[in-house]
Amino acid sequence: MKAVHFGAGNIGRGFVGLILHNAGYEVVFADVNAELIDALAATPSYEVREVGVGATTSTVDHYRALNSATHEAEVVAEIATASVVTTAVGPNILRFVAPLIAAALAQRDPALPRLAVMACENAINATDLLQAEVDKALADPAFAHRAVFANTAVDRIVPGQAPGAGLDVTVESFFEWAIEAPPFGDEAPVIPEAHFVDDLAPYIERKLFTVNTGHATTAYFGFLAGASSIAEAIGIPEVAEQVRAVLGETKALLVAKHDFDPAVQQAYLETNLQRFANPELADIVERVGRQPLRKLGRHERFIGPAAELAERGLPVDALLRAVGAALRFDVPDDPQSVELQELLSRAGAAAFVREVTGVPDGHPLFERLVAVVAAEQSRRA
Ligand X SMILES: NC(=O)c1ccc[n+]([C@@H]2O[C@H](COP(=O)([O-])OP(=O)(O)OC[C@H]3O[C@@H](n4cnc5c(N)ncnc54)[C@H](O)[C@@H]3O)[C@@H](O)[C@H]2O)c1
Ligand Y SMILES: O=P(O)(O)OC[C@@H](O)[C@@H](O)[C@H](O)[C@H](O)CO
Which of ligand X, ligand Y, none does 357 bind, CB closer than 5 to 8 A by kind?
none
121 near ligand X, judged by CB under 6 A: yes
**C-alpha to C-alpha distance for 232 and 230, rounded to whole angstroms:** 5
Residue 309's CB: how many other CB atoms inside 10 A?
Answer: 21
| Phi, psi (degrees; rounded to nearest 5) at 26 | -80, 120
When asked if residue 290 is in the footprint of ligand Y (CB under 6 A), the reply is: yes
Is 85:25 a contact under the CB 8 Å cutoff?
Answer: no
Was 16 annotated as part of a binding site? no
Residue 304 near residue 208, CB atoms below 8 Å: yes
Residue 215's binding partner among ligand Y, ligand X, none (Cβ under 5 to 8 angstroms by kind) is ligand Y
Range 61-80, binding ligand X (CB under 6 A): 68
**216 is annotated as contributing to ligand binding:** no
Q: Is 118 in the site for ligand X (CB under 6 A)?
A: no
From residue 119 to residue 148, the character string flagging contacts with ligand Y as x (rule: CB under 6 A) and all else as - is ---x--------------------------
Is 174 labelled as part of a ligand binding site? no
Q: What is the helix (H) or strand (E) element at residue 48, kind and residue range? A: strand 46-51
DSSP-derived secondary structure letter, 183: G
8 is in an annotated binding site: yes
**Residue 374 known to bind ligand:** no
Name the residue type at position 223: F
CB nearer ligand X, residue 7 or residue 222: 7
Q: Least CB distance from residue 290 to ligand X, whole Å?
A: 9
Interface stretch with ligand Y, choices 64-72, 149-157, 310-318, 371-379 (CB under 6 A): 149-157
Q: d(Cα 306, Cα 249) in Å, to the nearest integer?
A: 8
Name the minimum Å distance from CB 193 to ligand X. Answer: 15
In the bound complex, what is the minimum distance in angstroms from residue 15's beta carbon to ligand Y? 8
Q: What is d(CA 171, CA 278) in angstroms, rounded to the nearest whole number?
A: 11
Q: Are strands 57-60 and 46-51 parallel, antiparallel or unpaired?
A: antiparallel
Q: Name which of 15 and 260 has its Cβ closer to ligand X.
A: 15
- Quick one: residue 185, left, alpha or beta (phi over 0 = left, psi -120 to 50 = alpha)? left
Closer of 36 and 157 to ligand Y (Cβ): 157
Q: Are 29 and 60 in contact (CB under 8 A)?
A: no
Which residue is closest to ligand X by CB?
A: 9
Q: Is 9 known to sit in a ligand binding site? A: yes
Per CB under 6 A, does 90 bind ligand X?
yes
Neighbouring C-alpha atoms within 13 Å toward the C-beta of 28: 21
Helix orientation angle between 237-258 and 213-224, rounded to the nearest 10 degrees: 160
- Spacing of C-alpha 183 from chain mean position: 21
Q: In angstroms, rounded to a whole number, what is the distance separating the alpha carbons of residues 183 and 378?
A: 50
User: What's the CA gap between 301 and 123, in Å, rounded?
Assistant: 9
Check binding of 284 to ligand Y (CB under 6 A).
Answer: no
Q: Which stretch binds ligand X (CB under 6 A): 39-47, 86-94, 224-232, 243-251?
A: 86-94
Q: Which of 3, 4, 5, 10 binds ligand X (CB under 6 A)?
A: 10
Q: How far apart are CA 19 and CA 23, in angstroms?
A: 6
Q: Tell me how far, at minimum, the Cβ of 283 lies from ligand Y, in Å.
A: 7
Contact call for residue 20 and ligand X (CB under 6 A)? no
If one asks whether residue 336 binds ligand Y (CB under 6 A), the answer comes out as no
The length of the chain, given as a count of residues: 381
Between 115 and 123, whose beta carbon lies closer to ligand Y? 123
φ, ψ at 220 (rounded to 5°): -70, -45
> Binding residues for ligand Y, how many (CB under 6 A)?
10
Task: Considering only the stretches 4-12, 55-63, 232-240, 322-330, report the one whose residues sit in contact with ligand X under the rule CB under 6 A.
Answer: 4-12
Residue 92, annotated as binding a ligand: no
- Give contact residues for ligand X (rule: CB under 6 A): 6-12, 30-33, 36, 68, 88-91, 93, 96-97, 121-122, 154, 156-158
